[in-house]
Structure 1
């Protein structure tokens, strides 16, 4: 049998999980109702020229997360409405947004900004990505915690132990305590699963070698458990007699040179400065090429002249390229409203 508490869950997981769940719920609760409202409006939109948009403002965080809010006041079929609207989307934009007040022809109490309808799919995708990432992180963390709990329960029962080398991926010393993260990806099952353990004061992992600059230590599979258990250098984590420990450690220590290897941080030699600069330059070139290709696709092939953030890219292009791009868009959408970057002084017609 193995000692209790030889596999642990990082304390940060117990603090991070409620925060991630709260963020996921907050994103869904704050954005989903507005998206559902605007989806309903988009089925039968009615633009109100006489409507009043007050206190409208947009703010951008992290360079592309844009939040716009406004107070809407309008009258329809003899009834007056007051609504507060807030929308969030991803956009690379410079300058102001031109927007109108739009209501649902079927449900006149539902009102929004035309900007919200233009960015509807942008908002849907943004919310879906946030919820998927945050929700996925929550599920993965819950699964990891439950797996550790299940393994700890299985370790209380006697089972055959199968030795396996594992890679030490990280470790931290705090006072006399040592915490280690290790992964099963060297031999045997090679599950790739990572586990976390805390050693008692004075204990060290049984390091048997190194691979690719990282320490390799000895662990054991306890029956069919999902995670291996990292052993200490004196095998105190295994329930056995002193004579049994000595008989097992003797040949192992002889092979290791008489004493266990210490767990020390391995320095890694990084690439040269010129190599790093070359990589940065290549990334910049690829980024510029991707942006330019996206812009060319927008002005020549996009299904809508209001595709975002492509219309903002077109607006930021040098005058000759912007003029050419607007000409290409006008050939396909000349009978419709001009997008941002191609509008005349009235912000509606083509320049």
Structure 2
């Protein structure tokens, strides 16, 4: 008798309750939302702190004129990256502040420059000379901060989708099945990625995040090749998207005897 037939034979025929993984819980989603907000705030700070100045520098560079204004430059190093702030005071008392990532050499001469077309636009010569460098640094850092935002949103949407499936099949009679998955591991988290057809026949990408300590990861059937393998899952009566089971078999409310019967077949 094949493994699948043995699993079906010992699998409970009573309605089962499906538990959510730790990473599918509300607390984990709240943490993810806070991380998204934090990274988004950093990205916006980076963009709003530099892009408006870059736009002004570009306008000034089209028709620059040297002006005799007082410029105060202060530089500091934070986490290896040197940043400089420039405070320009015009003859009318107007104060213009600018931020320059990347630092300024001590021997570099700082000259204040204004736009001949719009004298209210003032900067320093180094800002114009380094427009491209500042643009690249700002863009790269902004995108780096936005990457976790995008990843976090994708994670939340996928978790919401899986929570919806779990809620739909909860309390139903479940059927065991074997699902091809791709495994990735980072820290204490084991991620199982797999595809399934929903009720409309559309291919859906599904993700299950297991905690190595509490869940132990998915139940692998057979051998794994380059992270690709088969895992034991369950399917509900009115939803074709499978839910991956964990090694500890705590994802369903199996009784002790039911757990032992499944473990005996899987061993």
Q: Normalising to structure 2: TM-score of the pair?
A: 0.67
User: Residue deviations 1:108-134, cap 9 Å, x none?
Assistant: 112111100111111122221122221
Mapped to 2, the partners of 1:141 and 1:106 lie a distance apart of 45
- Equivalence for 1:229: 243
- Equivalence for 2:143: 132
Structure with higher strand content:
2
Mapped to 1, the partners of 2:60 and 2:186 lie a distance apart of 55
| Structure (1 or 2) with the larger CA radius of gyration | 1
Is the 2:33–2:152 contact (alpha carbons within 8 Å) kept by the matching residues of 1? no
Q: 1:198 to 1:229 in 2, by over 3 A?
A: farther
Mapped to 2, the partners of 1:94 and 1:130 lie a distance apart of 22
Gaps of 5+ in 1: 173-178, 260-351
Is the 1:168–1:181 contact (alpha carbons within 8 Å) kept by the matching residues of 2? yes
1:196 to 2:209 alignment: yes
Q: 1:237 to 1:74 in 2, by over 3 A?
A: closer
Q: 1:97 to 1:85 in 2, by over 3 A?
A: farther
Q: 1:126 to 1:219 in 2, by over 3 A?
A: farther
Q: Normalising to structure 1: TM-score of the pair?
A: 0.53
Is the 1:103–1:112 contact (alpha carbons within 8 Å) kept by the matching residues of 2? yes
Mapped to 1, the partners of 2:123 and 2:137 lie a distance apart of 18
* Correspondent of 2:95 among 67, 83, 95: 83
Mapped to 1, the partners of 2:219 and 2:191 lie a distance apart of 12
User: Residue deviations 1:243-275, cap 9 Å, x none?
Assistant: 98777x3xx735x5xx4xxxxxxxxxxxxxxxx
Mapped to 2, the partners of 1:218 and 1:154 lie a distance apart of 18
Is the 2:178–2:230 contact (alpha carbons within 8 Å) kept by the matching residues of 1? no
Pairwise CA RMSD of aligned residues?
Answer: 4.1
User: Residue deviations 1:88-147, cap 9 Å, x none?
Assistant: 2346x7643222100111221121111001111111222211222212320221121111
- Equivalence for 1:262: none
> Does 1 or 2 have the higher relative contact order (CA < 8 Å, sep 6+)?
2
1:43 to 2:58 alignment: no
1:182 to 2:195 alignment: no
* Correspondent of 2:52 among 33, 47, 51: 33
Mapped to 2, the partners of 1:39 and 1:171 lie a distance apart of 43
The residue matched to 1:153 in structure 2 has which SS?
helix
Is the 1:87–1:116 contact (alpha carbons within 8 Å) kept by the matching residues of 2? no
1:105 to 2:116 alignment: yes
Q: 1:116 to 1:167 in 2, by over 3 A?
A: same
